[in-house]
């Protein structure tokens, strides 16, 4: 038994040492360094957005101990992802593990570099789920929760599988008291957009809304029980310009049912900006077809 444990211990230490070559320290907020993952050999770093509270004076601590300046390339606060570029070349990138290969109960290591050296904590994947949206509406491909202890400065660091591949990016900025990781698929979708545009383009109607139960006859006709009731309409916004008004209930957009706010956010992707969209609205107990041109969320 002792030999087995010794071999396991040595293997885990070797994984941490190897993975540490792709982990940097991120100094993006006063007095509280965090971690980042090397995204490209040319100096692109992905980290958690909430640990980058300033846009100037950013510093990255490299695995070899050097400290170099960095600049912010883009951020997505809704997904808690930020991308930096450090003035370095020849950095080592990690291998990524598709979350589909992960299972509840798999051993994982959460790594960080809030100081000069890599720190690690061991745990298991405690929950896996399907697509979900963050509190600010960003799509995450899979819900990935662990029981690892998120020590200060671990946000932005990697969640490591038992084979040494990175499953996701750790963050304590999306849910209080829960250790979540953004899966590789989310990073691989969001980071290129941040590199291209500096932000994530999202559609916008200029409304405040909440789910509401539909009248029984309308629900039967549509095959859905709820829509979203317009509680406010921004003057001059896309919805107001299209003639939507307070008290309307939006039940469909471009042929997709709108039952909850998640449906509305999903229907307003960046490709819908500037596009006239077919909106189905319940007004005064009657269904109406309208056209609304989506704007870009500020």
Q: Which of 76, 80, 248, 263 is catalytic?
A: 80
3-state DSSP call for residue 14?
Answer: helix
Query: Which DSSP symbol is given to 269?
Result: -
**Residues 155, 172, 179, 181: which is the catalytic one?**
155
Residue of 25, 20, 115 lying closest to 70 (CA atoms): 25
**Is 138 known to be catalytic?**
no
Could you count the other beta carbons within 10 Å of the beta carbon of residue 223? 7
CB 33 within 8 A of CB 114: yes
Measured CA distances, 284 to 215, 228, 247, 260 (Å): 11, 15, 9, 20
The verdict on whether 66 is a catalytic residue reads no
User: Where is 219: in which H helix or E strand?
Assistant: helix 216-222
50 among known catalytic residues: yes
Q: Which of 35, 50, 76, 263 is catalytic?
A: 50
Using a 10 angstrom Cβ sphere, with 0-12 exposed, 13-18 middle and 19 or more buried, the burial of residue 227 is: buried
CB atoms inside a 10 Å sphere around CB 68: 14
Distance (Å, whole) CA 103 – CA 167: 11
Helix (H) or strand (E) holding 251: strand 249-253
Q: How far is CA 122 from CA 42, 138, 160, 172, in A?
A: 30, 28, 10, 16
CA distance linking residue 145 with residue 154, whole number of Å: 15
| Active site positions, annotated | 50, 80, 155
């Amino acid at each position: 038994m002792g030999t087995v444990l010794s071999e396991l211990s040595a293997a885990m230490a070797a994984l941490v040492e190897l993975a540490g070559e792709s982990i940097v320290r991120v100094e993006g907020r006063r007095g509280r360094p965090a971690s980042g993952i090397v995204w490209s050999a040319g100096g692109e770093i992905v980290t958690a957005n909430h640990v980058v509270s300033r846009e100037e004076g950013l510093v990255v601590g490299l695995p070899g101990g050097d400290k170099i300046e960095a600049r912010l390339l883009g951020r997505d606060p809704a997904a808690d992802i930020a991308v930096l570029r450090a003035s370095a070349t020849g950095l080592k990138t990690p291998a990524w593990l598709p979350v589909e290969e992960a299972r509840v109960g798999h051993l994982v290591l959460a790594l960080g570099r809030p100081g000069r050296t890599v720190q690690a904590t061991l745990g298991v994947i405690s929950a896996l789920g399907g697509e979900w949206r963050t509190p600010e509406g960003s799509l995450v491909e899979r819900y990935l929760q662990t029981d690892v202890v998120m020590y200060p400065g671990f946000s932005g660091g990697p969640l490591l599988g038992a084979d040494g591949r990175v499953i996701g990016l750790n963050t304590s900025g999306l849910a209080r008291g829960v250790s979540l990781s953004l899966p590789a698929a989310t990073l691989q979708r969001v980071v290129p957009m941040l590199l291209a545009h500096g932000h994530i383009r999202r559609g916008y109607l200029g409304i405040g809304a909440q789910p509401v139960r539909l009248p029984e006859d309308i629900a039967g006709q549509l095959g859905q029980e709820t829509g979203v009731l317009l509680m406010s309409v921004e003057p001059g916004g896309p919805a107001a310009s299209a003639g939507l008004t307070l008290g309307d209930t939006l039940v469909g957009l471009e042929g997709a049912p709108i039952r909850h706010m998640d449906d509305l956010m999903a229907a307003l992707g960046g490709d819908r900006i500037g596009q006239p969209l077919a909106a189905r609205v319940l007004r005064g107990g009657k269904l109406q077809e309208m056209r609304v041109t989506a704007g870009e969320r500020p």
